[in-house]
């Protein structure tokens, strides 16, 4: 677990390093702010598409050959990609390297499978909560460090992100044991590598299919929120960049502390299913609160509510892991990562267009009502999935 927590933290730290300097880098590369925005959107969508295409295959490879080699290879490839970013001289080169990053983004898939391998079913929600906390802490530290390094040189954060990946891979090579030796018989064919086929197989299973649909709805709601949140605060409340950064960092830090300390106890009392439903419902309330917020204190309250409901995602992840057998954790987790990648590839562009239209009508906050609707659909799916889970 120590290595997994460090991996997730450094993974998010590496991505967070790039947040404050990406606009400056893209503007420097394209020499035009409008073109820079367009290319940034293309890079983000390309990352999501490649992650969708490759993640199911990486999960399947981890079932056949083991988690350790796939995880370490993903970290090394990601390190190469960030170093390539630091030397790229044009947008097409950046696009190629970012596509490689999406194809190598197997850490989330393998970490989730690894956690299922090494924890008892009753303790998985707590473990996934700790993973979420490490993710949040990386989100807090990354932009701060990226801003400081970017002030020295706009390409320096990419060098730092690459070196962090290599350091983490070396750490894992020395300390990480294999959680589940590969079975050597899981088939690897063109048919099994098809991401659409992998997702379809998951959707056809009664319990897992409903949980996957709930996951997709939750991811859409999350991506709508993430895609327009900073723009909304600027348009609706005229907040400064510093104000936005402080609020986001505070919320992420509070969520990390809550997930680290509280998720295990809450899920132990409520159980995976009930905790997933209640946490999802609290998320709906939080998004609806943002949609109708007319004063900053209402935003702060909605953020606090979101933190209080953050036990829902680890509980749902634990529920999913308990509904599948040990020999298919990687395959299914890869398909789930692919489902999330669909939202990451499609939602930012769509949400941006809708948000721009709502600004024209004077009601930009209604975008969060749409996010709340998707979160509500996720809650309904979770609440109506009553079949028993399979442990083991």
- Per-residue pLDDT band for 369 (boundaries 50, 70, 90) equals very high
Per-residue model confidence (pLDDT) at position 391: 45
Total of domains in the chain: 1
Q: Which carries the bigger pLDDT value, residue 138 or residue 302?
A: 302
Tell me, what CATH number does 227's domain have?
A: 1.20.1250.20
Residue 187 lies in a domain: no
Q: Quick check: 26 pLDDT over 80?
A: no
Residue 70 lies in a domain: yes
Residue 306 lies in a domain: yes
* C-alpha dist (Å) from residue 366 to 25, 199, 228: 32, 31, 11
The kind and range of the H/E element at 1 are none
Per-residue model confidence (pLDDT) at position 269: 92
Per-residue model confidence (pLDDT) at position 375: 96
Per-residue model confidence (pLDDT) at position 241: 66
Q: Which of 13-17, 273-277, 346-350 has the lowest mean pLDDT?
A: 13-17
- Its sign, for the CA torsion 107, 110, 112, 117, is negative
- Per-residue pLDDT band for 389 (boundaries 50, 70, 90) equals very low
Q: Which carries the bigger pLDDT value, residue 297 or residue 12?
A: 297
Per-residue model confidence (pLDDT) at position 37: 62
Which of 117-126, 266-275, 337-346 is the most confident on average? Answer: 266-275
Residue 184 lies in a domain: no
What is the rounded average pLDDT for all residues in the chain?
83
Residue 131 lies in a domain: yes
Q: Which residues contact 267 (CB under 8 A, 6 or more apart)?
A: 125, 126, 129, 275, 311, 314, 315, 318
Nearest one of 37, 256, 56 to 142, comparing CA atoms:
256
pLDDT, one tens digit per residue, over 179-196 is: 877 777 776 766 666 777
pLDDT, one tens digit per residue, over 261-299 is: 888 899 999 999 999 999 999 999 999 999 998 899 999
The 3-class secondary structure across 221-239, one letter per residue, is HHHHHHHHHHHHHHHHHCC
Nearest one of 324, 335, 110 to 212, comparing CA atoms:
335
Per-residue model confidence (pLDDT) at position 8: 82
Nearest one of 122, 117, 108 to 264, comparing CA atoms:
122
Residue 69 CA to residue 169 CA, distance in Å, equals 10
Q: Quick check: 218 pLDDT over 80?
A: yes
Structural domain of residue 21, as residue ranges?
A: 2-175+192-383
Residue 180 lies in a domain: no
The pTM of the full predicted model, rounded to 2 decimals, is 0.80
Residue 317 lies in a domain: yes
Per-residue model confidence (pLDDT) at position 392: 45
Which of 26-30, 239-243, 278-282, 383-387 is the most confident on average? Answer: 278-282
Residue 347 lies in a domain: yes
In the chain, what percentage of residues exceed pLDDT 70? Answer: 92
pLDDT, one tens digit per residue, over 52-70 is: 888 878 888 888 888 888 8
Q: Which carries the bigger pLDDT value, residue 304 or residue 183?
A: 304
pLDDT, one tens digit per residue, over 65-104 is: 888 888 888 888 888 888 887 877 777 887 888 788 777 7
Residue 342 CA to residue 364 CA, distance in Å, equals 24
Per-residue model confidence (pLDDT) at position 20: 63
The kind and range of the H/E element at 120 are none
Per-residue model confidence (pLDDT) at position 78: 82
Per-residue model confidence (pLDDT) at position 302: 93
Q: Average pLDDT for residues 118-143, to the nearest whole number? A: 83
Q: Average pLDDT for residues 309-325, to the nearest whole number? A: 88
């Amino acid at each position: 677990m120590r290595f997994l927590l460090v991996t997730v933290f450094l993974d998010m730290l590496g991505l967070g390093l790039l947040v404050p300097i990406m606009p400056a880098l893209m503007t420097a590369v394209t020499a035009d702010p409008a073109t820079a925005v367009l290319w940034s959107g293309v890079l983000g969508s390309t990352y999501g598409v490649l992650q969708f295409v490759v993640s199911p295959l990486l999960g399947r490879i981890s079932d056949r050959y083991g988690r350790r080699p796939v995880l370490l290879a993903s970290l090394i490839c990601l390190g190469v990609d960030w170093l390539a970013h630091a030397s790229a001289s044009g947008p097409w080169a950046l696009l190629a390297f970012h596509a490689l990053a999406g194809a190598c983004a197997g850490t989330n898939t393998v970490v989730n499978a690894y956690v299922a391998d090494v924890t008892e079913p009753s303790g998985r929600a707590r473990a996934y909560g700790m993973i979420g906390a490490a993710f949040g802490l990386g989100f807090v530290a990354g932009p701060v460090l990226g801003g400081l390094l970017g002030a020295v040189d706009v390409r320096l954060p990419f060098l730092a992100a690459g070196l962090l990946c290599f350091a983490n891979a070396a750490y894992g090579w020395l300390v990480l044991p294999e959680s589940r030796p590969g079975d050597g018989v899981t088939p690897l064919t063109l048919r099994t590598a098809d991401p659409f086929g992998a997702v379809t197989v998951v959707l056809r299973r009664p319990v897992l299919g409903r949980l996957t649909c709930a996951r997709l709805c939750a991811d859409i709601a999350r991506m709508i929120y993430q895609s327009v949140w900073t723009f909304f605060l600027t348009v609706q409340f005229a907040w400064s960049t510093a104000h936005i950064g402080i609020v986001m960092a505070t919320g992420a830090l509070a969520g990390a502390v809550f997930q680290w300390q509280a998720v295990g106890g809450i899920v132990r009392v409520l159980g995976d299913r009930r905790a997933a439903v209640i946490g999802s419902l609290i998320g709906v309330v939080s998004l609806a609160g943002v949609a109708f917020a007319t004063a900053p204190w209402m935003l702060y309250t909605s953020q606090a509510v979101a933190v209080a409901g953050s036990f829902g995602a680890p509980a749902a992840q634990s529920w999913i892991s308990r509904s599948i057998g040990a020999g298919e954790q990687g395959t299914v987790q890869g398909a789930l990562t692919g489902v999330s990648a669909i939202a990451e590839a499609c939602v930012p562009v769509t949400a941006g267009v809708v948000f721009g239209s709502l600004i024209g009508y004077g009601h930009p906050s209604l975008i969060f009502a749409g996010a709340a609707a998707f979160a509500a659909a996720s809650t309904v799916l979770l609440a109506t999935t009553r079949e028993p889970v399979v442990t083991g």
